[in-house]
Copies of this chain bind each other. A is one copy, B any other.
Amino acid sequence: MAATAAYSRSGGATRETAGATAVEGSRPACCSLYHHAIELVGKRWTGAILLVLMDGPLHFSGIRQLVPELSDRLLSERLKELEAEGIVERRVLEGSPVRVEYSLTAKGRALEPSLRALKEWARQHVSDR
């Protein structure tokens, strides 16, 4: 993420103190790794795709059924991004016709505590609109 290039890459330990007040100067600045992560999972439709893959591998059409308003084009784009991040794995299943299956990698499955906690937060705090 070019926009966060000036950030600390150390996971939050670096502080931004120049010109800060006493209180603010003693607090850790937002770290770029987290910043990248939250905007990755929060990108349009990505969070929904990750959630349905948490329960196991799916074909393209299966994801489309479980996230019904997502278009083929956007799903395809998001899956490629998640593959490039090492979060989703694409596997070609032999047979006729050949089918393609998508699953979470270990890195992807490690998102589960965070996403489940957010789902619970949503259940408790986001009202029906």
Contacts and interface: CB of A to CB of B under 8 A. Distances in A.
A68 interface: yes
28 contacts: A4-B69, A7-B68, A11-B122, A11-B123, A12-B119, A16-B66, A21-B59, A21-B62, A23-B56, A24-B65, A24-B66, A27-B56, A27-B66, A28-B66, A29-B65, A29-B68, A30-B51, A34-B47, A34-B48, A35-B48, A37-B121, A39-B43, A41-B42, A42-B47, A107-B125, A110-B124, A114-B114, A114-B121
Interface string A106-129: 010011011101110111111011
Interface residues of A, number: 67
A6 B126 contact: no
A27 B46 CA distance: 18
Interface in A37-66: 37-44, 46-49, 51-52, 55-56, 58-59, 61-62, 65-66
